Amino acid sequence: MSRKFMSKPPDRERLRSGFIIPTYEEDMLPLKPPRKKKLRQSFITDFVIEEGTGAIKAVQLAEILPYQYQPVTSRESHPDPPQKGTKRARKHMTDRDIEKRLSNDMLLSASNLAECESARKRGDKVFTQTCGEKCHVVEVFFEVDLDSMPSKQKPKFHTDHYPTIEIPAGAVYTALDCNLRRIFVYFNKGIETVYGAQISQRVLDDTTWNIKEYTHINPPEFPKDPNPNIDWGAFILSDPWDCLSRGDISGVYHWGCWRESEEDFCLTTDSIMVPDCVKPVLDDFTKTLGNMTRAHRILLGAVDKDYRDKGERMITGMRMGLKFPWVTDDNDCFSLRTCMVNAQVDQYYGDAFSNDEDAWLVMTPLGEFKGGELCVKELGRKFPHSHGTVGFIRAAKLEFFTARWTGERYSLECLQSMQIPEWAKIRIRRPNRRVTLVGEENYDVYDIDEDGEEFVWMDDSLVV
Over residues 109-134, the pLDDT tens digits come to 888 999 999 999 999 999 999 987 88
Regarding whether 431 and 305 lie in a shared domain, the answer is: no
User: Residue 226, class by beta-carbon neighbours within 10 Å (0-12 exposed, 13-18 middle, 19+ buried)?
Assistant: exposed
Regarding whether 262 and 120 lie in a shared domain, the answer is: no
Residue 368 banded pLDDT, cuts 50, 70, 90: very high
Residue 428 banded pLDDT, cuts 50, 70, 90: very low
In a domain, 422, yes or no: no
- Judge if pTM exceeds 0.85: no
**pLDDT above 70: residue 431:** no
**pLDDT above 60: residue 293:** yes
User: Residue 7, class by beta-carbon neighbours within 10 Å (0-12 exposed, 13-18 middle, 19+ buried)?
Assistant: exposed
Of 165, 187, 209, which marks where a domain is finished?
187
State how far the alpha carbon of 336 is from the alpha carbons of 46, 255, 278, in Å: 27, 6, 20
Question: Are 64 and 288 a contacting pair, CB within 8 Å?
Answer: yes
Return the SS3 of 364.
strand
Residue 432 banded pLDDT, cuts 50, 70, 90: very low
Residue 307 banded pLDDT, cuts 50, 70, 90: very high
Higher pLDDT, 246 or 216: 216
Regarding whether 350 and 294 lie in a shared domain, the answer is: yes
In a domain, 40, yes or no: no
Regarding whether 230 and 152 lie in a shared domain, the answer is: no
The count of domains in the chain is 3
pLDDT digits (tens, 9 = 90+) for 132-158: 788 899 999 999 998 887 665 555 555
In a domain, 8, yes or no: no
Of 156, 187, 218, which marks where a domain is finished?
187
Regarding whether 439 and 397 lie in a shared domain, the answer is: no
DSSP-assigned beta bridge partners for residue 229: none
Count other C-beta atoms under 10 Å from residue 240's C-beta: 16
Regarding whether 153 and 201 lie in a shared domain, the answer is: no
Residue 56 banded pLDDT, cuts 50, 70, 90: low
Q: How far is the first Cα of the chain from the last one, in angstroms, to the nearest whole number? A: 34
In degrees to the nearest 10, what's the CA dihedral of 33, 38, 39, 40?
Answer: -130
**pLDDT above 80: residue 273:** yes
Regarding whether 321 and 235 lie in a shared domain, the answer is: yes
In a domain, 226, yes or no: yes
Regarding whether 304 and 372 lie in a shared domain, the answer is: yes
Of 131, 166, 187, which marks where a domain is finished?
187
Regarding whether 120 and 54 lie in a shared domain, the answer is: no
Phi/psi region, residue 85 (left: phi>0; alpha: psi -120 to 50; beta: rest), is left
In a domain, 30, yes or no: no
Higher pLDDT, 233 or 14: 233
From 417, 273, 240, 416, select the one nearest 340 (Cα to Cα): 240
Radius of gyration of the CA atoms of the chain, in A:
23
Query: Cα–Cα distance between 456 and 462 in angstroms, integer?
Result: 6
Residues of the domain holding 456: 427-462
In 318-459, which residue ranges form alpha helices assigned H by DSSP? 320-323, 420-426
Regarding whether 328 and 212 lie in a shared domain, the answer is: yes
In 58-157, which residue ranges form alpha helices assigned H by DSSP? 72-75, 95-104, 110-122
From 195, 121, 126, 114, select the one nearest 165 (Cα to Cα): 126
Regarding whether 407 and 442 lie in a shared domain, the answer is: no
In a domain, 253, yes or no: yes
Regarding whether 345 and 289 lie in a shared domain, the answer is: yes
In a domain, 243, yes or no: yes
From 291, 296, 335, 288, select the one nearest 313 (Cα to Cα): 335
**pLDDT above 60: residue 170:** yes
Q: Which of 103-107, 174-178, 271-275, 408-412 has the lowest mean pLDDT?
A: 271-275
In a domain, 151, yes or no: yes
From 407, 202, 182, select the one nearest 301 (Cα to Cα): 182
